[in-house]
Structure 1
């Protein structure tokens, strides 16, 4: 990797972590990097490096026996950089609630996240997240339970009910 790619990566990390800058429009980000003199190939390589999925590193078998881990009764799905770009902060909070309250299964959450990443070209808001949730969770009683537990969905459901009559 050349120096320019490292500079792009450090800029992106700084914007995300230190400045709290949430990039909502990839095109404007790319254009601003090009305006600073970086070429498209370098930008693509930097994005590929940051947004590539991380690998899980397993401990050798002998080290696993020595390592004692307390299992937390709450499972927590951590969003990667790419996923954080796709979900509004409100939706990220909903994902945490769904997980903590065990309202959806792990495989359902993964399908929701995958569908959100593939189908949408912008940041997913609460309404879009609810629509995807309805597609994945094909059980009206569970959806009702989810809607009753997650207050953010009430506005979406109330709005839909207005137009049904």
Structure 2
């Protein structure tokens, strides 16, 4: 890897750390870097390096329960970066309950990731998100009673609303 690619990677990492979506701004970033004298080939190499996914998977990356839900999925690199163990445990447990369909679970995970990206992901916000996605009060009750992090929030939440 040449010096220019390393310099570009440093700049891209700074933008990434500042919580700016590199891919959505790739064209603007590329133009700006070209104006600074960097070659397009080096810029492309840096972007490729940033988003190259060697697909390293460990046992902790899966949340699967073939016997109960039949749903098997791997946390993406971005999810692993933004979800702490507590959040991953909630996702594992939601999946293991087997009461949410794949679409509901994916909506919850996508919105959790958006919230985590902006540092707005809390247990309360996760519960509110689940409450927004899941329409069935009995399912909400089961989730709140089965996942220790929520400590019976379904009943508390319904009393407030």
**Shorter-chain TM-score category?**
0.5 to 0.7
Q: Does 1:49 align with 2:51?
A: yes
Give distance in 2, aligned partners of 1:123 and 1:47: 28
Q: Structure with the greater relative contact order (CA < 8 A, sep ≥ 6): 1 or 2? A: 1
Q: Does 1:97 align with 2:88?
A: no
Give distance in 1, aligned partners of 2:48 and 2:120: 21
Matches within 5 A, 1:56-135: 72-73=66-67, 74-119=70-115, 121-122=118-119, 124-135=121-132
Q: TM-score, normalised by structure 1?
A: 0.53
Give distance in 2, aligned partners of 1:109 and 1:152: 17
Q: TM-score, normalised by structure 2?
A: 0.54
Segments of 5+ residues of structure 1 without an aligned counterpart are 13-24, 29-39, 55-70
- Is the CA contact 2:108–2:129 (under 8 Å) kept in the aligned structure 1? yes
Kindly provide the CA deviation profile for residues 129-160 of structure 1, in whole angstroms up to 9, marking residues without a partner as x.
11111111111111001111111111756875
Pairwise CA RMSD: 4.0
- Is the CA contact 1:85–1:123 (under 8 Å) kept in the aligned structure 2? no
Q: Does 1:140 align with 2:134?
A: no
Kindly provide the CA deviation profile for residues 89-108 of structure 1, in whole angstroms up to 9, marking residues without a partner as x.
21110111111221321111
Segments of 5+ residues of structure 2 without an aligned counterpart are 20-31, 34-42, 56-64
Distance 1:113 1:27, change over 3 A: same
**What SS does the aligned partner of 2:18 have?**
helix
Q: Does 1:26 align with 2:17?
A: yes
Distance 1:138 1:98, change over 3 A: same
